[in-house]
Amino acid sequence: MENIFTDDYFMKKALHEAEMAFEKGEIPVGAIVVVDNRVIARSHNLTELLNDVTAHAEMQSITAAANFLGGKYLKDCTLYVTLEPCQMCAGALYWSQISKVVYGAYDEHRGYRKMGAQLHPKTTVVTGVMEQECGALMKAFFQKRR
Amino acid sequence: MENIFTDDYFMKKALHEAEMAFEKGEIPVGAIVVVDNRVIARSHNLTELLNDVTAHAEMQSITAAANFLGGKYLKDCTLYVTLEPCQMCAGALYWSQISKVVYGAYDEHRGYRKMGAQLHPKTTVVTGVMEQECGALMKAFFQKRR
């Protein structure tokens, strides 16, 4: 039987979250956390609505997943996020010791790699999953705003 | 008239917060945010109590200060924190464009400088304020835990 639970399958769910952010006038980034092919957290960027720079999609999903699991470590979890995490989110992911991070579009300006921040050495990283779709939503947002 | 509102004056308040964390069995880090010599946010590390790696003192104070100000940028604010921020907190401070960060003890292992993360270029940084007192509380905590 074909495995439907691919990285694309889950990234589409993160992208759906990003679209919800877009519709609210937020920079369109979405994230979900998955454990054993089950989505245990989903969120999208809410920095404008909440007036809070810490309200990135990843931060909310990390907190929600920890609440769901009843523990602060996300050792058997995968985070899917439509945009490369910033240094804040990479730092939170570092502390969570998450198993795997999958991101879509690259952030060449404020992404954690460019800024010099680090994920946990135990974390597997997969990049560029549905990069075009994730990036297109970002481009559409910034074109609209100009 | 002597200015009582020195960095030591405010760091003592952050240290008081760190002592509250210590008493709860949390890694003893405290933070406050000050604007025009007025404390607008105070917090201490709650990662154990909340089961949440994002519940660092700085993160809570950034959110609380933004709530107080009604805007997400902390451009005229100073954050006092007893320990050098980690890369997550440095990343949040970066996004907040905070004016000034004052920290007490250095974190040579997980501090943002060692990890490679960055504060905002507009942020003034003052280090080592009440370093001994801030560091002594950390040492006492880890000795107790062993």
pLDDT digits 0-9 by tens, A42-74: 999 999 999 999 999 999 999 999 999 999 999
Give which of A50, A51, A53 to mutate to test B binding, by max B Cβ within 10 Å: A53
Nearest-CA residue of chain A relative to B54? A92
Torsion of CA A85, A89, A90, A96, to 10 degrees: -130
pLDDT (mean) for B58-77? 97
CATH of A7-145, one of 3.40.50.10490, 3.40.140.10, 3.40.50.360, 3.20.20.140: 3.40.140.10
A interface test, pick of B47, B54, B115 with most A CB neighbours within 10 Å? B54
Residue B86 marked as a ligand binder: yes
| Positions in chain A short of pLDDT 70 | none
Inspect the interface and report whether the beta carbons of B118 and A118 lie closer than 8 Å: no
pLDDT of res. A2: 83
Task: Please judge whether B47 and A118 are an interchain contact, meaning their C-beta atoms are less than 8 angstroms apart.
Answer: no
Boundaries of every domain in chain A: 7-145
B9-40 confidence digits (pLDDT tens): 999 999 999 999 999 999 999 999 999 999 99
Inter-chain residue contact B91 with A62, CB threshold 8 Å: no
Residue B63, chain A, CB below 8 Å: the answer is yes
Instruction: Decide if A91 touches B, using CB distance below 8 A.
Output: yes
Q: What's the complex ipTM?
A: 0.95
Query: Would you state the pLDDT for residue A73?
Result: 98
pTM of the model: 0.96
**pLDDT at position B86:** 98
In this prediction, residue A24 carries a pLDDT of 97
Indicate whether B144 pLDDT > 90.
Answer: no
Say whether A120 counts as a known binding-site residue.
no
